[in-house]
Amino acid sequence: MNPRTTLLDTLRTTPLLDPRRTLPVMAELLAWWAALAVLWLVFISTVDPLELAVGAGAAAVGALAARAARRAVTGR
Amino acid sequence: MNGWEFAAALTLSGGVGGTLWGVATGPLRRRVVAQNLSTALACPALLLLAQGYDRPSYVDLALVLALLGPVGTLVFARLLADELAEDPPRAWGVTYAAAGVGAAVVLALCVATGPSRALVKLLAVGALLIGGNVIASRALAGGFRGVRRG
Amino acid sequence: MADVVIVVALLLVAAAATCAVLVRDPVRQALVLAVLGVVLAVLFTVLQAPDVALSQLAVGSALTPLLLLLTVRKVRRRARQEGRGP
């Protein structure tokens, strides 16, 4: 390994730790999660804490699936 | 029997009954359009029934139909693509008429519901209904033929 | 007077089922069957059985036509291959 390689360089070459790459991914997932959580909130009949917790979990799973589907469609 | 149920009976007998005639007779291009319209008209009827019976949970039925109806039409558009390419359906008049019926029903129900979460749900159902059926009609007319090969 | 919707739904189901029997070509039959599924779901709703209607919608509006059309396509392809063969 090049001795001049700094910690930041190591971070940047590791895809999961590079802030320039993780930030857009997190932003996209958060946007999907927010949209799906709002959809759940609209579609349920009674709002109570348990329903909200289940909705947040389902929206998280849905956000991962939605990003995977979006990547499969746009081909990136 | 109230006005909502009467409107639902009218939509069912006039709209869905008409599409039943369309799907049982005529060339294939007319039948696929009639099948698409039957879901587009049954969905407003289910919405009207939910309001007529005063059961907000029945709106879920219309939601599922608005989601799955265009999916069914896309199945036909994909698997009958070769036969439809020779004789493509051109029926934008009735498609927009059915979309107009859906929009009118959703608007009337929104006025009856008043501002609440149920109103947002109704608007979501209406958007799914109209958007889904316009997309399905475009697929039937061969609008996405490039996607099929790509 | 209160049963007008039930009568309309029953008549629609009877008409759609009769059409599904009278239409002979399997592809066109699949189209009538899709409409019959939707009409049956409406009948179940009218009879106050929304859970049954929900499952009927899930199966009848997209899944049954898909299975039928795939089967027709496979049978026809095999028939064409056998016709071209020896």
Residues in chain B: 150
Give pLDDT tens digits for C1-19: 668 999 999 999 999 999 9
Contacts of C61 by beta carbon, 8 Å cutoff, 6+ apart = B39, B65, B68, B69, B71, B72, C34, C37, C38, C41
Tell which residue, A19, A23, A28, A38, has the closest CA to residue A65. A28
Identify the residue with better confidence: B91 or B59: B59
Which other chains touch chain C, taking contact as 3+ CB pairs less than 8 Å apart?
B
Cβ <8 Å between C5 and B8:
yes
Cβ <8 Å between C57 and B61:
yes
Measured at the CA of B47, the angle between CA B45 and CA B48, to 5 degrees, comes to 65
Q: Which of B56, B57, B117 sits opposite A42 (nearest CB)?
A: B117
Give pLDDT tens digits for C23-78: 988 899 999 999 999 999 999 999 999 999 999 998 988 899 999 999 998 998 88
Amino acid, single-letter form, for residue C10: L
C85 burial level (CB within 10 Å; 0-12, 13-18, 19+): exposed
For chain B, give the mean pLDDT.
Answer: 89
Task: Give me the mean pLDDT over the B57-79 stretch.
Answer: 92
Q: Is B127 on the interface with C (CB under 8 A)?
A: no
| pLDDT at residue C79 in the model | 87
Give the max Cα distance, chain A: 61
Q: Check pLDDT > 80 for residue B146.
A: no
Residues in chain A: 76
Rg (CA), chain A: 18
Q: Check pLDDT > 80 for residue A75.
A: no
What CA–CA distance (Å, rounded) separates B64 from B12?
18
Size of interface B-C (CB pairs under 8 A): 118
8 A C-beta contact, residue C33 and residue C10: no
Residues of A in contact with B56 (CB under 8 A): 45
| pLDDT at residue B150 in the model | 40
Residues of C in contact with B55 (CB under 8 A): 50
Best to test chain B binding among A38, A40, A41, A45 (most B CBs inside 10 Å):
A45
C64 burial level (CB within 10 Å; 0-12, 13-18, 19+): middle
Amino acid, single-letter form, for residue C22: L
Cβ <8 Å between A42 and B57:
no
Cβ <8 Å between B124 and A39:
yes
| pLDDT at residue C3 in the model | 86
With an 8 Å CB cutoff and a minimum of 3 pairs, decide whether chains B and A touch. yes
Cβ <8 Å between C46 and B75:
no
8 A C-beta contact, residue B20 and residue C12: yes
What b/e sequence results for B91-119 when a residue is b if at least 16 CB atoms lie within 10 Å of its CB, and e otherwise? beebbeebbebbbebbebbbeebeeeebb
Residues of A in contact with B117 (CB under 8 A): 41-42
What DSSP assignment string belongs to B30-87? HHHHHHHHHHHHHHHHHHHHHHHTT-GGGHHHHHHHHHHHHHHHHHHHHHTHHHHHHS
Q: Is B64 on the interface with A (CB under 8 A)?
A: no
Cβ <8 Å between A41 and B117:
yes
Task: State CA B10 to chain mean position distance.
Answer: 16
8 A C-beta contact, residue B103 and residue B126: yes
Q: Please report the ipTM that was assigned to this predicted complex.
A: 0.90
Distances, alpha carbon B43 to alpha carbons A36, B98, B121, C64, in Å: 23, 10, 14, 19
> What is the chain A residue with the closest CA to B56?
A45
Q: Check pLDDT > 70 for residue B147.
A: no
